[in-house]
Structure formats: C-alpha cells, structure tokens
Amino acid sequence: MATREKSQKVVIVGAGPVGSLAALYAASRGDDVELYELRGDLRDPSVSPLNFSKSINLAISERGINSMRCSNRPGFVEAVLKQSIPMYGRMIHGKNPMGKVWEEPQAYDVHGRFINAIDRTALNGVLLDELEKTPNVKLFFNHKLTGADFRNKKAWFEREDPNDPNMGAFKATSDNEDDDKTINVSRAPEVEVPFDFLIGADGAHSAARYHLMKYTRMDYKQEYIDVVWVELQIPPSEETNDFRISPNHLHIWPGREFMFIALPSPDKSFVCTLFAPASHFVALDRSPENLLEFFNTHFPGVCPELISPEALKQQFQTNPHLPIISIKCTPHHYESSAVILGDAAHAMLPFYGQGLNAGMEDVRILFEMLDSHGVYDNDTTTPGKPATEIATARAAALTAYSRERTPDAYAIIDLSYRNYLEMRWGVKSPLYRLRKAVEETLDAYVPRLGWATQYARVSFSNAPYSEVETATQRQGQILSRALTGLVFAVAGVSGMWLWRWHRARDLGGLMVRIRDVFGW
C-alpha cells in the first residue's frame, strides 16, 4: 500500500463478528483502527450477551466463509472452521397417525454442499485473537457510544468499567445547608474520539444508526413479527457423552404455526430454539403444567427422550422469552464519514441463517467498493493521496455501496420470512418436495440450464440476494406453467380417450341393433 499524508483513523462500533471482520479489512489496508464494544471482552465466559441468552446458534455458509477468506489472513478461515460442525441438511421430525415417531433427512444440496454450525462466542474469539496480533488495531471494551458528530467526525463513548478510578463521588446540595451530603455514584466518564471514518456494526438496536439518522434522511422500517423464542438445550448422552441425535443435520420439528429446532455444538449438546406466537408463550406461562403436553403433542420425541421433563420446565421458566425484530433502512451511510453494516443496517429473521453471512458479506462488498473508487492505493511507486481526496473517493464509494446493498438487504429479509413459513410447515408439503426434486434434478443432470433451488442460491453462492429472489421467482413461474400445461395435457388425453371409448361403445351398440334388424 502507498503511504498517505497521514494514516486514516477508522473507528468501528461493535466488536461482534461483523465489526471484528471490518477491523481486519481496514487494518490490512493500513488504516489505524480502533474497535469499541459496549460489553466486556466477548471471549470472557462471564460476559453476558446483550439479550442475556447464549442467542440463536449461528450457521456460517459460503458468503461468510468467502468474506473471511478475502481478508487474506493465512490460517484464519481454517481456525474458524475447526470450531464448526458441518450440517448437510435438515432432519424433519414428526409422528404418524399410528403414534409412531419418525424422522426424515432432507439434503440441503444435490452436490453435497453443507452449512456450518458454529458457536457465536467461539467465532468471536477467533476474530478477536486475530485482531490482537495486528499492531494497528486497538480494542476498547466496556465503551458505550453516546454521541456522534458526523460532520466534524467526532464520537463520544462512556467508559462503563466499574473499576475505572475516574468513577467517583460528587456532592449534592440543596437550599438547606444541613441537607448537603456526598453521594457515591458510578459516573461513567466520557471520552471524545476523533475519526476519519466510522463503521457502525453494533446490532439491531444500533446506537450508530440512531445517531446516523440525525444526519441523513433515512427511510426506516422496524417490525416485530408475532413470534417469540426461547433457548433450550439437549445435553450429551449420559451413557456415551456423545450426541443424542445426528450432529450433521439441522433438526426441525415443524408445527404449522410454530416450530422447534436444534443445532449441534462442539460439546456434544444441541442448542435448541422454540419459536411460537406470543399467545402460546402467554398460555404456557399461565399454565406451566401444560408444557409437557404441548411438547408431546407438537414436538414428538423431544421430551423425555432428549430433554428431561425437569430440565425442560426449568429452562423454559428460567431462560428469557425474546421477540424477533426485522429492520429495513436506507441509505446505509452519510457522506464520507460513516456507514452501518450487519444487523444495524438490516436486521432479519433468523430462519435462513443469513444474518451473520449477510453482515460479513457487507464487509467484503464495502471494502471492494472502497478499493474500486480509489480510497486505497495499491501503487507503491507514487505518493499517497491527500486526506481530502480520500474523503471524496470514500463518499462516492459509500453512495455506491448503499445503492447496491439496499435491494439485497431488503431481499434477504423477505426471503428469511418466507423461509420461516417453509420450515414450520412447507417442508412436509408434497408440492414443496415436488418442486425441490424437479429443481435438484435439473441442477444435477442439465446444469447448463442454470437451475438451482432457492436454498442453494442463498447458502452456496455469492450471487446478490436480489438476483436470487428474481431467479427463484422466474423458476417458480416456469414450473407453474409447466405443471399447469401438464395438468391440461393429462386432462386432454384423458378426455380424448373417454370420448373415443364412449364413441366406440355407441358404435358397437349401433352395429348390434343393425344386426338384430337385418338378422345378420
């Protein structure tokens, strides 16, 4: 990289997987990077996630892996995948009319490709370890973004470390001198941080987005769907200390308007999630004695086979019941000074496993835009660009980024919701199975047609989500026309056969009558 008049300072808000990957990208281009995180060090097991739950387990697929690979860190992707477990498909669970419990695997891909279950903390740990090896990156934990001036490029953070010596006492006074007293309080001191470029990757309830909305005319839509979730756990087998069910599948118990899923963890347990309308949670909270019957009716084989009744009751009552939020907004940036990535820009339902992957893809596409617009200069034979020229180039890159990324963000949010409908009931539909079989057959045996399932396009390619949505809709229309044509063809052939049969029968009757009249 060429040297500049001075190094650009990049401040990143949020040290989750997306923010940490953005820090790696910026640092590799020579920027001075400061990464600020509201919580403590996320590698510390005592640090609670913001929703006070381990959170829905992550599934990393091609988009996320490709984005990590493009960080050009030797051994980095391999270190991440060592922490993961491959899942080759869904395992659908149910019970037949005779009361027998069954399970049926459904492969994700006709070519054998798979997604990877990974623990959020493990992934974050690998990323933060990588950042600590990087000399031009500084990590700041327990720092809360409280303000930002994107015109003058300054941000303010509260240092929320209770052990900070700057947090002390102050004297509170009143009109009555006898009432003067000193009150010990925890006052978080505020620090001012200048920057050249700020990246907000601080999740669905983003402080960076909140302050960004004061500077740009942002269209914003937030929606809570009528689904609440609670995390449960299937422990390892007591006899073998191994997985109780197949570790290489995402297990689904579909229930029409609710579902129960389970993803494998490296400790041989399964992180499980119950998704249901809020009314069901309210009813079970009011009548906890119905919990076991609810599971036995809708999720056969879970209790007591996989989770003991005592553990199920304890986890359901103790673990938080949390809502699911969906957020769309545009633009994702302001001039040359700030941009938001990941859930801060496009929080989505978790049913496609693309929240992490889309966020990491944001990082790759953002820095590809910055590169292509000349923010970073690979020509080491010429002097570096002045800061004003870099800012102009960055403004153009961010405008292009918002313009390109917004339709893709909207598309994957919509696709995630439709996949929820598919997972909770569509996977058992004959029409779903027929379409999947047709598309996979064409993909396997006539690849030049370019057919693929929607799932394969989303999870095993880097095609823009908006193009995936368009291609899937086109395939659906073609299949619908073909199926309609087939139905009409079958009906036409059947009608012709019946007409000929009736005609032949009538002709035969006429010949009999003629024979009787003439005595033939």
Does the pLDDT of residue 22 top 50, yes or no? yes
Task: Give this prediction's pTM.
Answer: 0.86
Listed by start position, the domains of the chain span 9-83+119-218+331-421, 88-113+221-327, 448-520
**β-strand 32-36 against 137-140: which pairing, if any?**
parallel
The model's pLDDT over 357-395, given as tens digits with 9 standing for 90+, comes to 999 999 999 999 999 999 997 654 445 678 889 999 999
Does the pLDDT of residue 73 top 70, yes or no? yes
- Judge residue 512's burial from the number of C-beta atoms within 10 Å of its C-beta, 0-12 exposed, 13-18 middle, 19 or more buried: exposed
End-to-end CA distance of the chain: 106
C-beta atoms surrounding 241 within 10 Å: 10
| Whole-number CA gyration radius for the chain | 29
Q: Which fold has domain 88-113+221-327?
A: FAD/NAD(P)-binding domain (3.50.50)
- Closest Cα to residue 87, out of 60, 65, 125? 60
Give the residues across from 107 on adjacent strands: 89
DSSP-assigned states of every residue in 285-315: HH-GGGHHHHHHHHSTTSTTTTS-HHHHHHH
Q: What are phi and psi of 494, to 5 degrees?
A: -65, -45
Higher pLDDT, 23 or 181: 23
Confidence of residue 156 (pLDDT cuts 50, 70, 90): very high
Distance in angstroms (rounded) separating the CA atoms of residues 478 and 499: 31
The model's pLDDT over 400-457, given as tens digits with 9 standing for 90+, comes to 999 999 999 999 999 998 888 777 666 666 777 787 888 888 888 888 888 899 999 9
Distance in angstroms (rounded) separating the CA atoms of residues 124 and 42: 7
Does the pLDDT of residue 321 top 70, yes or no? yes
Does the pLDDT of residue 344 top 60, yes or no? yes
**What is the separation of C-alpha 281 from the centre of its chain, rounded to a whole number of angstroms?**
24
Q: What is the mean pLDDT of residues 101-109?
A: 94
Q: Any idea which of 109-123, 143-157, 166-180, 434-448 has the lowest mean pLDDT?
A: 166-180
Residues belonging to the chain: 520
**β-strand 333-334 against 219-234: which pairing, if any?**
unpaired
Residue whose token pair is 């080491």: 380
Q: Residues 197, 401: contact at Cβ < 8 Å?
A: no
Distance in angstroms (rounded) separating the CA atoms of residues 156 and 144: 8
The model's pLDDT over 24-53, given as tens digits with 9 standing for 90+, comes to 999 999 999 999 999 999 888 777 665 444
Residue whose token pair is 């102009």: 392
Confidence of residue 168 (pLDDT cuts 50, 70, 90): very low
Burial 448-470 (b: 16+ CB within 10 A, else e): eeebbbbbbbbbbbeebbbebbe
pLDDT at 238: 93
Distances (CA, A) of 154 to 149, 150, 193, 338, 505: 5, 7, 6, 11, 92
Q: Residues 33, 10: contact at Cβ < 8 Å?
A: yes
9-83+119-218+331-421 and 88-113+221-327 agree in CATH topology: yes
Q: What average pLDDT is seen over the chain?
A: 86
Q: What is the mean pLDDT of residues 205-228?
A: 96
Q: What are phi and psi of 144, to 5 degrees?
A: -105, 125
Side-chain-side CA neighbours of residue 161 (13 Å) = 13
pLDDT at 188: 73
Q: Residues 401, 366: contact at Cβ < 8 Å?
A: yes
pLDDT at 326: 94
Distance in angstroms (rounded) separating the CA atoms of residues 217 and 212: 9
Q: What is the mean pLDDT of residues 310-331?
A: 95
The CATH H-level superfamily of 9-83+119-218+331-421 is FAD/NAD(P)-binding domain (3.50.50.60)
Identity at 438, one-letter amino acid code? V
Q: Any idea which of 92-101, 147-156, 169-178 has the lowest mean pLDDT?
A: 169-178
Confidence of residue 149 (pLDDT cuts 50, 70, 90): very high
pLDDT at 385: 76
DSSP summary character for residue 243: -
Give the residues across from 105 on adjacent strands: 91
Does the pLDDT of residue 132 top 60, yes or no? yes
Does the pLDDT of residue 509 top 90, yes or no? no
Structure tokens at 121: 């903390």
Distance in angstroms (rounded) separating the CA atoms of residues 416 and 393: 34
DSSP summary character for residue 125: H
The model's pLDDT over 11-21, given as tens digits with 9 standing for 90+, comes to 999 999 999 99
Side-chain-side CA neighbours of residue 511 (13 Å) = 6
Confidence of residue 142 (pLDDT cuts 50, 70, 90): very high
- Sequence-ordered list of residues with C-beta below 8 angstroms from that of 77, at least 6 positions apart, any chain: 65, 68, 69
What does the longest C-alpha to C-alpha distance in the chain come to? 137
